[in-house]
């Protein structure tokens, strides 16, 4: 089911004026006559979204169907409140939400804070530190409209580590069954809200402050001669010009008389 609220980047509680305003803005962007950003397919989807959300009856029917098919928030299975593990889980959940948007809608990858809050099922008041940290690491960026996007560094991190972090993998692929795997699966056991064991999210060292970019790389100096030792002494084997100097003032003796 296409999420038209997500496509328009508006809240499901947006009033009709907001729907009209966003539609006019995006229509100018996606109209095929726009030489820089025109997109006929996106424009057709925009028209469909507007026709549904601008009609009260059709919107009510769409909202009811959307609620039935919407996945459960991450917080129903993932613990976001634990002292340390909860914070690590929040970071990965934010990255998962932004990665999904970036892949699904590359033309409009921005995600509002209210949508992040809704998808995580977690109040935004607890996300200030999480969002600050991810911005400082360069994994996410905040646009002028106060919406968030995943950066290229964030994409690299998610795609590099999704296989090694089972919970992140499930958030990216199944959504509604974030922690439905076998108990104790993976090397990071963590108790979730159901009291069972899920996957403890331990961020790789690339998300820690002490990450050393040189780790795992061969030392180019290994096997190379130490130029500070074994230097060839240039004077070895050469005649010291100071040894045995001839005194230019000493003349050879005169030959004796010949008898």
Q: What is the model's pLDDT at position 181?
A: 32
Split at pLDDT 50, 70, 90, the class of 177 is very low
pLDDT tens figures, 8-22: 878 888 899 999 999
Burial 3-42 (b: 16+ CB within 10 A, else e): bbbbbbbbebebeeeebeebbeebeebbeeeeeeeeeeeb
25, 66 Cβ separation under 8 angstroms: no
Average pLDDT, stretch 152-177? 79
Q: What is the model's pLDDT at position 35?
A: 92
Average pLDDT, stretch 47-58? 95
Give the C-alpha distances (Å, rounded to integers) separating 77 from 68, 147, 178, 184, 243: 19, 26, 7, 14, 89
How does DSSP assign 82-142, residue by residue? STTHHHHHHHHHHHHHHHHHHHH-TTS--B-HHHHHHHHT--GGG-HHHHHHHHHHTSEEE
Report domain 74-207's class: mainly alpha
Range of weakest confidence among 193-197, 222-226, 234-238, 247-251: 193-197
pLDDT tens figures, 56-111: 999 999 999 887 777 778 877 777 887 778 888 889 999 999 998 888 777 778 88
Average pLDDT, stretch 151-175? 84
**Whose CA is closest to 198, among 76, 16, 66, 83?**
76
Q: What are the sequence ranges of the domains in the chain?
A: 4-69, 74-207
Burial class (CB in 10 A: 0-12, 13-18, 19+), 232: exposed
Report domain 4-69's class: mainly alpha
pTM score above 0.95: no
């Amino acid at each position: 089911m296409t999420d038209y609220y997500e496509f328009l980047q508006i809240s499901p509680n947006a009033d009709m004026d907001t729907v009209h305003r966003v539609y006019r803005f995006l229509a100018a962007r996606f109209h095929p006559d726009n030489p820089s950003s025109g997109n006929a397919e996106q424009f057709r989807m925009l028209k469909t979204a507007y026709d549904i959300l601008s009609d009260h009856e059709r919107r009510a029917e769409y909202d009811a169907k959307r609620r039935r098919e919407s996945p459960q928030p991450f917080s129903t299975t993932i613990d976001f409140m634990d002292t340390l593990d909860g914070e690590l889980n929040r970071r990965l959940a934010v990255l998962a939400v932004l990665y999904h948007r970036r892949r699904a809608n590359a033309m409009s990858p921005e995600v509002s804070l209210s949508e992040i809050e809704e998808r995580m099922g977690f109040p935004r008041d607890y996300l200030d530190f999480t969002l600050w940290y991810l911005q400082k690491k360069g994994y996410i960026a905040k646009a002028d409209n106060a919406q968030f996007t995943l950066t290229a560094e964030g994409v690299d991190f998610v795609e590099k580590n999704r296989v090694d972090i089972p919970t992140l993998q499930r958030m990216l692929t199944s959504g509604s069954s974030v922690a439905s795997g076998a108990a104790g699966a993976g090397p990071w056991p963590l108790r979730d809200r159901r009291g069972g064991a899920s996957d403890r999210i331990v961020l790789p060292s690339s998300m820690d402050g002490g990450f050393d970019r040189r780790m795992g790389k061969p030392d180019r100096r290994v096997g190379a001669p130490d130029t500070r030792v074994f230097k060839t002494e240039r004077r070895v084997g050469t005649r010291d010009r100071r040894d045995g100097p001839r005194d230019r003032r000493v003349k050879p003796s005169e030959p004796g008389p010949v008898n």
